[in-house]
Structure 1
Amino acid sequence: MKQLKSKYLFVYGTLLQDCNNEMSQFLEQHAEFVGKGFFCGRLYDVNEFPGAVSSSDMSKKVYGSIYKITNQELVFKVLDEYEGIAAEQTDLDLFKRIIVEAYMEAGHTVKTWVYEYNLPTLNLRLIPSGRYLES
């Protein structure tokens, strides 16, 4: 398992509380909601879920929620599997877990994990609002 460099997780898709599925409920049980915010990136419609790719372009934003993880080993073990990350991460994995700087609505920033889409985005539809539930 990756060294746990942050106790925070930024979610922007099917892990959002409003999705009300088994995995979003799992996250709610094992994490504390910290607030809403965004990170710099682009959000794509992959099919039945979104995929975000981080960017240095401050005009492109992916919106979501930030959680403080209470049991990091358990949570990341379960969520890495859910997000299609092999035990030894490869370039063929659907997502990769990376650290980004997220900007909180409250005005401060936090270093947080995010599941970044790991495959080509060339033929995917961009979600210009950066908000999955509004796409």
Structure 2
Amino acid sequence: MPKSEYLLVYGTLQKESQNSMSKYLAAHGQFVARGCFQGKLYQVSWFPGAVVSSNILEKVYGSIFKIDTSENVFKVLDAYEGIGRVPKASDLFKRESVHAMLDDGTTIETWVYLYNRSVNHLKRISSGDFLKFSDEGF
């Protein structure tokens, strides 16, 4: 029986982005629900980056997928996010485990790609919702 894990995506991997990698994730993962984790969201470029926050009022919103880990899905997504086979401090993102809350209030442990560099110079997306931010024409 294949092992599965969860992945929360908050940016260009969401199905609404309609790019090749969001389509790849939709084809190789099962959408579970919308959800959020305790964090802050920033505009890095044409894509966002999130960091974990200690403030319980700060949330990053996204989509949660169930991933079959017997496939190489995480290897493909790690490469897309700029993470090498051996993660380095200089990588743009890092994949870490966080506690996320689904829209129905259920809490699960899930992987998320967190921004791995300084956010001091970046514009904060205060809503925590990249899709809403994108619709507003950032």
**Structure 1 length as normaliser, TM-score?**
0.93
| Count of aligned pairs between the two proteins | 131
Structure 2 gaps, min length 5: 134-138
SS in 1 for 2:73: helix
1:8 maps to a residue whose letter is Y
2:33 pairs with one of 32, 35, 53: 35
2:45 maps to a residue whose letter is N
Structure 1 gaps, min length 5: none
Deviation at 1:72, TM superposition (A): 5.0
Kindly indicate whether the alpha-carbon contact (under 8 Å) linking 1:96 and 1:115 is maintained by their aligned counterparts in 2: yes
Q: How does 1:1-135 map to 2 (within 5 A)?
A: 7-71=5-69, 73-135=71-133
Kindly indicate whether the alpha-carbon contact (under 8 Å) linking 2:40 and 2:51 is maintained by their aligned counterparts in 1: yes
Work out the CA distance in 1 between the residues paired with 2:64 and 2:131.
16
Aligned-residue sequence identity (percent) comes to 52
2:41 maps to a residue whose letter is L
Kindly indicate whether the alpha-carbon contact (under 8 Å) linking 1:84 and 1:94 is maintained by their aligned counterparts in 2: yes
